[in-house]
Amino acid sequence: ARVGYGAMQLDDTVTTDDAVAVLRRAVELGVNHIDTASFYANGEVNRRIRQALAPFPDDLVIVSKVGAAHATGGPIPLRAAQKPAELRAAVEADLEQLGLERIPVVNLRRLDLGPGLAAEGDQIVGLDDQLAEMVAMRDEGKIGAIGISAVGDDVLRAALPAGIACVQNAYSLLDRAQEETLQLCAAEGIAWVPFFPLGSAIPTLPSVADDAEVVAVAEEIGVTPAQVGLAWLLAHSPNTLLIPGTRSIRHLEQNVAVGAIELPVDI
């Protein structure tokens, strides 16, 4: 299904019962792509996914990411974890927290592009060394497929020989800086999975739902501005998959519904 679910918001500020209810409703609505990471709330998000959905449906694709680790005391609860041994440790944590023998897809979260963490010092690690570890884990059966995140088209081209299933980059209707990378993915048959698809409170990522033209289109066709922003992404490129996150079942239902929205042709 082209509309999946990003579980990052189901941290310990949400009750376990509410998190379980959202996850189970997502699957009821046909969601079969859930994005997570062992560093989300220090593994709590993974544990909630397991509690809500295990034993997992056969068609459920759980996608995790490596390249960061949980941390406390800083402006964000993360630190860079780019070394090959740290990538492996994150996959092992995913396997334990989710109760799986293999993670279907794991994204290598490089720190080449913002927003968020930047690599410094010994955390500046070569792509080849990282991909060698990812390929080794794929060969061992710990991960099913390799994705890559926060990279430009030059890094993606260099990674292609390893076999790349998907790319996660910041991208929205109002922030198309990564258009060339999207088009490369389309040409190579690689799934494009935009994060921050509706923008963010981060100043460099404008809010799609607050844009006057988006609001006008939403009023014209009787949907929410957020639905317009998500529907545009699906219409813009057929290799796009969405993983919008929410703590609200109502918003979840609105997000899943965007697959059926037809936008005016001139948007």
Structure tokens at 146: 């390799």
- What is d(CA 91, CA 134) in angstroms, rounded to the nearest whole number? 10
The two counts, helices (H) then strands (E), for the chain are 9, 9
Reading the block at residue 44, the tokens are: 């709590």
User: 5: helix, coil or strand?
Assistant: strand
Active site residue 40: yes
Q: With the C-alpha atoms ordered 210, 238, 134, 159, is the resulting torsion angle positive or negative? A: negative
Residue whose structure tokens are 């109502």 = 250
* 115 phi, psi to nearest 5 deg: -85, 170
* 107 three-state secondary structure: strand
Pairing of strands 191-192, 164-168: parallel
Q: By C-alpha distance, which of 136, 142, 11, 147 is closest to 67?
A: 147
Q: Of these residues, 39, 40, 56, 171, which one is catalytic?
A: 40
Catalogue the active-site residues. 40
